[in-house]
Amino acid sequence: MSGNWKRPERPTGIVRTLPSLYAEKELIGAKRYQQSIKLLAAGRIAAIYIALQSIPKHDVLHVYLIVDGLVDVRLNIAGYEPGDSRECWDETIRKPKFWAVCTGPVSFPPETFARKGFQGFRYTSTEELW
């Protein structure tokens, strides 16, 4: 395979692995994450912010969030903001280079499926995962 291989079409989304929400602090990260997703799905908050170290080079529509090795949810990406310090679900203060502004509709997979965790983000295939 040559070093000039390119993806035949543009990807539709990125996959982002979140830090484990179930390891510490009596599950506070998991509870706060789940509450934020519920509020977004109900339209009670406008957006949630996902830390990114870079902005995707391709325009993508969605972010799929992986939590503890499982694809948990798909959100729309409304845009990106420069990173600033913010408290995250697990009560950790993070200051990434960028925040992905994620909005509804909130979409859950029809059945759970695993994806290997990784740092940063990866592009999904040229088709939606569900």
Q: What ranges do the domains of the chain cover?
A: 13-123
pLDDT of res. 10: 76
Model pLDDT, residue 114 = 82
Q: Report helix, strand and coil shares of the chain as percent, to nearest 5.
A: 15, 35, 50
CB 19 within 8 A of CB 90: yes
List of E strands, the chain? 13-17, 48-52, 62-67, 70-82, 86-87, 93-94, 98-107, 121-123
Asked if residue 65 lies in contact with residue 72, where contact means CB atoms within 8 angstroms, the answer is yes
What is the pLDDT, as a whole number, of residue 106?
97
Structural class in CATH, domain 13-123: mainly beta
The list of the chain residues with pLDDT below 50 reads: 1-2, 126
Task: Return phi, psi of residue 120, to 5°.
Answer: 75, -140
* The pLDDT value given to residue 99: 97
Q: pTM of whole model > 0.95?
A: no
pLDDT of residue 1: 44
Q: Which residue type, as a one-letter code, is found at position 8? A: P
Q: Which secondary-structure segment (H or E) carries 39? A: helix 28-41
